[in-house]
Every structure is written in C-alpha cells, then in structure tokens.
Structure 1
C-alpha cells in the first residue's frame, strides 16, 4: 500500500475579499449585546408579572359595593305606614 500524500498546510487563510473586509465583533461587543438583551428580558418579564398581578387583584376585588337604602320588602307595592309622631308632639331638631 502506498501512502497518500497530504497537501502542505496553507500559509494564508483562503478567504474571499468580502470576508477580509467584514468586521467581526470582538468579545467585548458580544458581552455588551448579551447584557443589553438580558436587561431587556428582565424588564419585559417584570412588566408582564405586574400586569398579571393587577389582573388577579382586580378579579378578586371586583365590584362589590354597599348601599344604605332600605331593601324593598313588599314587591306588590303596598305602602306601609311608619310610626309617625302625633301632630301634638313637638320634634327636636339638632343643628
């Protein structure tokens, strides 16, 4: 068996002129992009969680209110007499 000859290692990288002109980002630029992406993701998750908490709060505390009106006792509409004082008695009004 004959040994297969291996080609000599290239002295220059064989790249096109486009690859030579292209600016590759440095490690520091990659770190900056990663930090900015992480900050944006944290802000987005925080806003989303605040919106969810507000929706849950509004769902649990929905529209219950109290009125001080007398409930309608008789649905037929008959009027009941109140205990009115006699006309001879004087009423006191405090101001």
Structure 2
C-alpha cells in the first residue's frame, strides 16, 4: 500500500462549502444606504404607475361613451325611403364653372 497518493490538506474555508457557513462580506454603510434609496425610488415609481392606471380605468369606466342616432325610435323605414325618393325626382341642373 505504498503507491496510493495522499490528497493535499484542505483549508478551513474549503471545508465549509455551504453558503451559510462561509464567511460573508458585510456592506459598507454607504452601499447599504444606496441600496435603500434605490429600493425606495423603485417602490415610489411602481406605486405611482399603479395609481395612474387605476385612475385611468375608473375614468374610462365612468365615462363610457354612448352614441346618438337621429333615426326615429319606431324604426319607420318607409319614411326614410320616401325622403330619399323625393330628392331624386327633382329637376337636375348642371352648373359649368
């Protein structure tokens, strides 16, 4: 058994391979403050966009458009056809410019 190679000795950091056991770097106070400012700005922008979207939806819901027709409510189609026929029977005139 003299021909077996021996592994090199492991360092203490390499033995702790899980992320929870490894040493973590702490953020500096300025890096932590920058992260907090960015998070606050993104939150404010998101809330603002969400509020604008809700206001637009409420406005569009309350101001649903309705169109007005000028036809009689009874749907009397014969009167409409009679008016169209009267205008065609008139004397046609030509104008030269």
Alignment TM class, shorter chain as reference: 0.5 to 0.7
Runs of 5+ unmatched residues, structure 2: 1-11
Residue 63 of structure 1: how far off its partner (Å): 2.9
Encode CA deviations 1:20-65: one digit per residue, 9 max, x unaligned.
Answer: 9421001001101100100110111011101111111111111311
CA RMSD of aligned residues (A): 3.6
Query: TM (normalized to structure 1)?
Result: 0.54
Matches for 1:1-95 after TM superposition, within 5 Å: 21-72=23-74
Give the helix-richer structure, 1 or 2.
2
Residue 71 of structure 1: how far off its partner (Å): 2.0
CA distance in 2, matches of 1:73, 1:22: 81
Q: Which runs of 4+ in 1 moved over 3 A?
A: 16-21, 90-93
Distance 1:72 1:92, change over 3 A: farther
Runs of 5+ unmatched residues, structure 1: 1-15
